[in-house]
Amino acid sequence: MTERILNCAAAVCEALTEEMARDEAIFIIGEDLVAHGGIFGQFKGLPERFPGRVIDSPISESCIVGAGLGAALTGMRPFVDMHFADFVTCAMDEIVNQTAKIRYMFGGQVKVPLVIWAPDGAGLSAAAHHSQSLESWFVHAPGLKVVVPSEPADVKGLLKAAIRSDDPVIFFQHKKLFAREGPVPEGEHIVPLGRAAVKRPGSSATILTYGSGFYMSMEAAHELAGMGIDAEVIDLRTLKPLDFETIAASIQKTNRAVVVHEACLSGGFGAEVSARINSELFDYLDAPVLRVAARDVPMPFSPRLENFVLPKIEDVVNAVRAVTYRQR
Amino acid sequence: MKSSASTREMRRLYRTMVTIRGFETLAGELFAAGKIPGFIHLSIGQEASSVGVCSVLRPDDYIVTTHRGHGHVIAKGGNLKKMIAELVGRKTGYCKGKGGSMHIADFSLGILGANGVVGGGFPIAIGAGLSIKLRRTNQVVVCFFGDGASNRGTFHEAMNMASIWKLPILFVCENNCYASTTPTTYACSAADIAARAAGYNIPGVTVDGNDLLAVHEAAGQAVERARRGEGPTLLENKTYRRRGHFEGDPQKYRTQAEVAEWEKKDPLLRFASILKKKKLLTGEMEKEIRKQVDDELTEAVAFAEQSEWPAPEEALEDMFVNP
């Protein structure tokens, strides 16, 4: 498999093109897809290449998600575009009460091969209705798999895995990362759901992160290296099911952990990871697990305010310095 | 149902109504005896709607049902043993004891599931209808719901979507005069819920929901229209919920006189008298049908009660295909 440089938006498009060509049961449903190629241009070319299989919907989020579910129950493999992740709130019954529970509630009678694709995240001055990171809500709803990729190769590989999954997957992808470039393997490239990746090996402390937090963490690790601190960076990629083995192996080596995410602090996924590390790896810890996250406010509009609320590279650097006792 | 071949068919429809009445009566008794955990919602009085609508469906057609869905499941061919076993929480039940009364499904019969959320079925019906279009079969979907659900946003989203895409869906409103404890006359902005169809450019039809033949006729036309690719219909069956919202409901919101008034419009008595007038049913036949149904139900209860309880650890199974 050769690799080329693609951005994350192109990686989404490539994954969908390959999968739709492979399996006729796959279709895309959402708002502004056909004429616009998706609100971020992420589906450009697909409506022409697969006529009738990219379906523009009225602005009816409950019915968009529910239609995906009903189609999944009757033999299709729908890919539902939420437009902005914030709009999952308009379809919470369909996601949490229906999609997540149907297989279980009906005693395993049916498969639910549905992907809910939700562009999330802040940093674009889009204010509080277009900037949230809501992944931890869905981690808390049994019956869903939750994916949050960062690098383009993982976007492609995880999306292909999500589309092929017989279980419902909610796939968050950061809007600001659509333009991020990186090497992406051509053709069949699958990243299995539920496996984290050690993206930067290190020995002094483990940074556990995903989505936009990944880039922040890699830059922090680079700065920390200059200070003689060798941080290991793990991109969790799938939050549920969580690859705790990879986390445990790293912490048994580094004895220190910092969790980094863009979602706000309280009740965030960092709390879950931190709790599990404390209960299962306490004997290996040389310092309390620290969390780096956004402030607990709705995302403000003005760039100066937004920047203040969001976690920064320097926060990650400081947290790692703290767990390695380089800073009080 | 004018051909001679329909004599047997009419008796079968009557028998199905008797089965639903028997099932619901029995479920009420089992609940009162403490054998059914949780709560149950019975459809006594609404049998003509379930049977009339499902009488025009093919085995491969889909239905989406509600928390008052036992009748729909039976009318679509559901297995009584698996139903009772589910109601009492055994592992031989339709959902292995994970769903209970409000969550019965049988995907082999196109029963895409009952829903504990009022109005939760509309979006799923849209998806099934869209899937039929994409797969180019000529199946149809029936989406059953109550008067209360017609006030939810999902109703309006679904009517619009089904209309613009001409989806093969029959929306069946079972207007039983109450949404839980709230009278329809209070909570609905118009006297006929079917009138709302006009706003979505689809046919809206109101029928006497206690008249099996009227429901059968109207549902038949709507289903034919859907199969021809002409899109959805909203059918409102005006009926009455004879029992409380749930078993044990003190029902302070209505009078005994009102319930008694509707008992006179009983859909079973009504259809039986039509059949008797046409000499398609005799008192003897009626007795025989009741006996057969009683035997079937007795057998179903025995099956359920002799069935094993699920092992506690089974609570961790069936969530994902690939955990």
| H helices present in B33-79, as ranges | 47-54, 70-75
Rounded to a whole number of angstroms, the distance from the CA of B97 to the nearest CA of chain A is: 7
Return d(Cα B258, Cα B285) in angstroms, integer: 32
| CA–CA dist A42, A83 (Å, integer) | 11
Q: Which residues in chain A touch residue B135, judged by CB atoms under 8 angstroms apart?
A: 74-76
Chain B residues with CB inside 8 Å of A97's CB?
A: 116-117, 120
pLDDT band at A328, cuts 50/70/90?
low
Answer yes or no: are the C-beta atoms of A160 and A169 closer than 8 Å. Answer: no
Q: For residue range B51-77, list pLDDT tens digits in order.
A: 999 999 999 999 999 999 999 999 999
pLDDT at A1 over 60: yes
The string over A171-196, giving b where at least 16 C-beta atoms fall within 10 Å of a residue's C-beta and e elsewhere, is bbbbbbbbebebebeeeebebebbeb
Contacts for A232 with CB less than 8 Å, ≥ 6 apart: A198, A200, A201, A202, A203, A204, A205, A206, A207, A250, A253, A254
Mean pLDDT of the A284-309 span? 97
Nearest to B121 by CA among A73, A140, A54: A73
The answer on pLDDT for B4 being more than 50 is no
Nearest residue to B19 (alpha-carbon basis) of B64, B79, B60, B63? B79
pLDDT band for position B133 (50/70/90)? very high
Residues of B in contact with A27 (CB under 8 A): 134
Contact with chain A for residue B115, Cβ under 8 A: yes
* Residue B1: pLDDT band with limits 50, 70, 90: low
Cβ contacts of B123 on chain A, cutoff 8 Å: 62-67, 69-70, 94, 98
pLDDT tens digits for range B210-222: 999 999 999 999 9
> Mean pLDDT in chain A?
97
Q: Is B194 in a helix, a strand, or coil?
A: helix
Helix/strand/coil for A148? coil
Q: Is the peptide bond before A288 cis (omega within 30 degrees of 0)?
A: no
A173 min Cα distance to partner chain B (Å): 23
- Nearest to B89, CA basis, from B301, B304, B246, B302: B304
Res B135: pLDDT: 97
Give B201→chain A minimum CA distance, Å: 16
Mean pLDDT, chain B, rounded, equals 96
A77-81 and A26-30: which strand pairing? parallel
CA B96 to chain centre: 21
Q: Is the pLDDT of residue B7 over 90?
A: no
What is the rounded CA–CA span in Å between residue B281 and residue B274?
9
Distance of CA B43 to the CA centre of its chain: 8
Which of residues 31 through 50 in chain B touch A, CB cutoff 8 A?
none
Tokens 């118009």, located at residue? B190
Q: How confident is the model at residue A2 (pLDDT cuts 50, 70, 90)?
A: confident
Contacts of A299 (CB under 8 A, 6+ apart): A122, A126, A127, A128, A131, A132, A306, A309
**A27 and B85 Cβ atoms separated by less than 8 Å:** no
| Encoded amino acid at B286, one letter | E
> Are B161 and A67 inside 8 Å of each other by CB?
yes
Residues of A near B (Cβ–Cβ under 8 Å) read 27, 29, 52-53, 55, 57-58, 60, 62-76, 78, 93-94, 97-98, 102-111, 142-143, 145, 165-167, 241
Q: How many whole angstroms separate alpha carbon B84 and alpha carbon B122?
A: 26
Spell out the residues 6+ positions from residue A183 whose beta carbon is closer than 8 angstroms to its own: A3, A4, A5, A152, A153
**pTM of the entire structure?**
0.95
- Residue A189 falls in the annotated catalytic set: no
pLDDT at B256 over 70: yes
Given A83, A129, A130, A140, which residue is catalytic?
A: A130
Q: Please give the pLDDT value at position B108.
A: 98
Round to whole Å and give the CA distance between B158 and B154: 6
Both tokens of residue A13?
């498009």
Contact A244, A269 (CB under 8 A): no
Does an H or E element contain A54, and which? Answer: strand A54-56
Q: Over the Cα atoms of chain B, what is R_g?
A: 19
Q: Which pLDDT score is estimated for A41?
A: 83
Is the separation of the CB atoms in B61 and B139 below 8 Å? yes
Helix %, strand %, coil % of chain A (to 5): 40, 20, 40
What the block records as the tokens of B143 is: 């989406």
pLDDT of A40 over the 90 cut: no
User: Which tens digits make up the pLDDT trace of A131-159?
Assistant: 999 999 999 999 999 999 999 999 999 99
Long-range contacts formed by B136-140: CB under 8 A, 24+ apart: B137/B60, B138/B168, B138/B227, B139/B58, B139/B60, B139/B61, B139/B62, B139/B110, B139/B168, B140/B57, B140/B61, B140/B62, B140/B168, B140/B169, B140/B170, B140/B223, B140/B226, B140/B227
Mutation for testing the A interface, residue in B66, B111, B166, B321 having most A CBs under 10 Å: B321
pLDDT at site A232: 98
Partner residue opposite B103 with nearest CB, options A53, A93, A105: A105
Q: How far is A124 from chain B (nearest CA, A)?
A: 31
Joined tokens for residue B189: 């902005």
DSSP code, position B247: T
- The answer to whether A182 touches A6, Cβ cutoff 8 Å, is yes
Q: How far apart are CA A77 and CA A79, in angstroms?
A: 7
Instruction: Report the alpha-carbon distance of residue B194 to residue B206 in Å, rounded.
Output: 6
Q: Report pLDDT digits (tens) over A78-104.
A: 999 999 999 999 999 999 999 999 999
Look at residues A100, A261, A104 and name the one whose alpha carbon lies nearest to residue A172.
Answer: A261
